[in-house]
Amino acid sequence: MGFFTKLFGKNTDKLCAPMAGRAVSIDKVPDPTFAEGMLGNGIAIEPTEGKVYAPCDATVDMMFTTGHAVSLVADFGAEILIHVGLETVSLEGKPFTVHVANGDKVKKGQLLIEVDLDAVKAAGLPVITPMVICNTDDFPTFNVSVDEDVTNENVVIELAK
pLDDT of 10: 58
Per residue in 104-121, is it b (16+ CB within 10 Å) or e — as a string? eebebebebbbbebebbe
CA separation for the pair 127, 50 (Å, rounded): 9
Tell me the three state secondary structure of residue 128: coil
> Taking the chain (161 residues) in consecutive chunks of 10 residues, what is each chunk's mean pLDDT?
48 94 97 96 98 98 97 97 97 97 98 98 98 95 95 96 88
Q: Which H/E stretch holds residue 14?
A: strand 13-16
pLDDT of 40: 95
Set out the domains of the chain in order of their start, with CATH numbers. 19-138 (2.70.70.10)
CA separation for the pair 114, 65 (Å, rounded): 14
Tell the burial category of 67 from Cβ atoms under 10 Å away from its Cβ (0-12, 13-18, 19+): buried
**Cα 85 off chain centre by:** 11
Give the residue numbers annotated as catalytic, written as ranges.
Answer: 83
Task: Please write the tens of the pLDDT for every residue from 71-93.
Answer: 999 999 999 999 999 999 999 99
Q: Which is nearest to 75 in space by CA: 102, 53, 107?
A: 107
Answer for the pair 95, 121: CB distance below 8 angstroms, yes or no: no
Question: What would the DSSP string read from start to end of 37-74?
Answer: TTT-EEEEEEESSSEEE-SSSEEEEEE-TTSSEEEEEE
CA separation for the pair 71, 130 (Å, rounded): 12
